[in-house]
Amino acid sequence: MLNIIKGLCIILSLTFLTGCGTKGLYHEDYVSKEIKPNLNKVSNTKVCLKDYANVIAVRSNSRPNVPATEIALNAGEINTNILNLFTKQYFTKVEKNCGNESIYIDSYIQSFKFDLHTFGGGEIFVLNNIKVFKDNKIILEKTYDIQADNKIVLGIFAIKDTAFDSVIELYHRALFEFYETEFKKDLIEGPFRILCQSGKITNTQGHRYEDRNRRRAICSRY
C-alpha cells in the first residue's frame, strides 16, 4: 500500500513539473449566445470563406508554480467556423472552399500563444492574416494582433474543468469579438462597400446619431 501511495505521489509530481497536453477543438456553444440571428441579411451577394485546418502546437509561457503545458489547437478549423458564424449573421449565402464568388475572405491564423497565470486566469496572443477579395480584386489585406485575457469570459475559470479549457474558450470568444468589432469596422469603413451597395447599411435604426451620419456619408460616396 505504501509503495502505491509513493508511486502516485511520483506521478503527480511529474505531472505538475512537466505539464500535460490538451487538444483545442471547436465548440460552437462557446459563442452561440453571441450570435444575432435576426439581423437583416444581404441576399444578392455570395461570400466564400477559405477553409483552413492548420493545427498549432504551443507551450504556455510558464510562470512560477504553473507547469508548462502544451495545447494542440485546431487554430484553422476554429477560426474558419467562427468566421462562418459571424458572416452568416449578415449574408444569406456563405460557403467554404467555393469558387470565384463576389466576396472571398481568406483568414489565416499565423501564430497563437497563451499564458497561464499563477492564481488562475490567462491570456492569449493571436496573429491573424486576412485578405478580402471582391470580384477577384483585393480590397483588404491586413495582419491583426489579437490579445485577450480571461476577463472576456466572466468566471470561466470557476466553471471549466481546467484552465486549459478556459484558454480554448477564450480563443473562440476573442475571435468572435474581433470579427464583430475591428474586422467589421474595417469592412464597413474601409474599401469594402457591399453593405452600402446593397442598401442594408442605410437601415440605421438603433445606431447613435454620429454613427448614422458617418455611415450615410460613407454610403453616399458609392
Give me the domains of the chain, ranges plus CATH numbers.
15-191 (3.30.160.150), 194-222 (no CATH)
Quick one: pLDDT band at residue 203, thresholds 50, 70, 90? very low
pLDDT in tens, 22-52: 778 999 999 999 999 888 898 888 999 999 9
What is this structure's pTM? 0.73
pLDDT of amino acid 132:
93
- The helix (run of H) or strand (run of E) holding residue 132 is strand 122-134
| pLDDT of 210 over the 70 cut | no
b/e per residue 13-44 (b: at least 16 CB within 10 A): eeeeeebeebebeeeeebbeeeeeeeeebbee
pLDDT band at 59 (very low <50, low <70, confident <90, very high): confident
